[in-house]
């Protein structure tokens, strides 16, 4: 059974599941910051996935990236697998704006997080589920309310 | 004709060309830090590539990542498209070690670069060309000496 690393679990809210990856929202209202985690245990690097799964990960990543870029009028998308702190393979997709607090630096390890309020979280998750649905190649299954 | 951004050109040495991407070595002896730049003008985001080119980019990325991880005994690979400073689509592949100067932080914008000497650069480029050759799916064409 797939196990999400406890740190990833504590820091995020679940948007839903794509065919390969769990889609998570970082609980940080400073940024629209999503994370894809392939639901396969003991993975650390993208190149450890099968070629078919690598392609599916990129398909899911590009769908998310494109939808977020349009919806949130990104100046740039930041897409990355780092994993120096939490090694479980997780793929960051972050909306960047030229007036954000860290621009043009990468955002990791800089500003302290600002947790969403209950209402903000619900609103953001609903918005993301709507924006990320309706793609036959990467259908999104959302948790039941 | 494909044009590399002048900053990328100034900061790197050419390893060679994969079918899609130019493979560059950052001229920074602190890290084994490669960059893939798809040879298509006016690109900023991975999701702007055709699906076939996205898959080829990931094929090239995973080949490089896997070969570098093994050759340089990486503790973790860092793979990222940021582009907040230079927008031209470029894909970082960086070997990280637990005893490197920035671990576990991302390396961008932290320590000043240390340029390779002429001999170090030649040696590193030769090593990389050897390590990154011999893959039928991502053949590497190197500049003539």
Question: How far apart are the C-alpha atoms of A56 and A20, rounded to whole Å?
Answer: 7
Cβ distance of B96 and A84 shorter than 8 Å: yes
Residue spans of the domains in chain A: they are 6-131
Judged on CB neighbours under 10 Å (0-12, 13-18, 19+), B68 is: buried
* Interface ipTM: 0.96
CATH class name, domain B6-103+114-131: alpha beta
Partner residue facing A82 (CB), from B57, B65, B78 = B78
Task: Say if residues B101 and B30 touch (Cβ distance below 8 Å).
Answer: yes
Provide the percentage of residues in chain A whose pLDDT is more than 90: 94
Residues written for chain A: 145
pLDDT tier, A144 (very low <50, low <70, confident <90, very high otherwise): confident
Cβ distance of B84 and A65 shorter than 8 Å: no
Q: What is the pLDDT of residue B134?
A: 85
B56 reaches A (C-beta below 8 A): no
pLDDT tier, B17 (very low <50, low <70, confident <90, very high otherwise): very high
Global pTM value = 0.97
Query: Which conformational region is residue A59 in: left (phi greater than 0), alpha (psi within -120 to 50 degrees), or beta?
Result: alpha
CB proximity list for B26: less than 8 A, separation 6 or greater: B11, B12, B33, B34, B35, B113
pLDDT tier, A145 (very low <50, low <70, confident <90, very high otherwise): low
Question: How far apart are the C-alpha atoms of A44 and A47, rounded to whole Å?
Answer: 9
Tokens coding A3: 């196990």
A103 reaches B (C-beta below 8 A): yes
Q: Is the pLDDT of residue A29 over 80?
A: yes
> Per residue in B40-54, pLDDT tens?
999 999 999 999 999
Question: How far apart are the C-alpha atoms of A95 and A125, rounded to whole Å?
Answer: 15
Fold of A6-131: HIT family, subunit A (3.30.428)
CB proximity list for B61: less than 8 A, separation 6 or greater: A46, A47, B36, B79, B91, B93
Cβ distance of B69 and A109 shorter than 8 Å: no
DSSP collapsed to 3 states, chain B: CCCCCHHHHHHEEEEEECCCEEEEEECCCCCCEEEEEECCCCCCCHHHCCHHHHHHHHHHHHHHHHHHHHHCCCCEEEEEECCCCCCCCCEEEEEECCCCCCCCCCCCCCCCCCCCCHHHHHHHHHHHHHHHCCCCCCCCECCCC
**Nearest residue of chain A to residue B109 (CA atoms):** A105
Q: Is the pLDDT of residue B108 over 70?
A: yes
Question: Which residues between 75 and 94 in chain A have a beta carbon less than 8 angstroms from any beta carbon of chain B?
Answer: 76-85, 87
Q: Is the pLDDT of residue A109 over 90?
A: no
pLDDT tier, B145 (very low <50, low <70, confident <90, very high otherwise): low
A3 reaches B (C-beta below 8 A): no
Q: What is the pLDDT of residue B142?
A: 93
Residues of B in contact with A111 (CB under 8 A): none
Q: What is the pLDDT of residue A124?
A: 98
Instruction: Indicate which of A84, A97, A98 best probes the interface with B, i.e. most B CBs within 10 Å of its own CB.
Output: A84
């Amino acid at each position: 059974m797939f196990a999400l690393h406890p740190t990833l679990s504590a820091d995020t809210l679940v948007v839903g599941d794509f065919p390969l990856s769990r889609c998570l929202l970082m609980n940080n209202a400073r940024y629209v910051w999503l994370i894809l985690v392939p639901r396969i245990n003991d993975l650390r690097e993208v190149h450890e996935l099968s070629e078919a799964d690598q392609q599916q990960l990129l398909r899911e990543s590009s769908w998310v990236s494109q939808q977020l870029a349009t919806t949130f009028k990104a100046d740039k998308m930041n897409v990355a697998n780092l994993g120096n702190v939490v090694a479980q393979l997780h793929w960051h997709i972050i909306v960047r704006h030229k007036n954000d607090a860290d621009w043009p630096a990468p955002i990791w390890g800089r500003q302290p997080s600002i947790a969403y309020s209950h209402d903000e979280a619900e609103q953001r998750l609903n918005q993301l589920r709507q924006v990320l649905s309706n793609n036959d190649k990467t259908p999104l299954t959302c948790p039941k309310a």
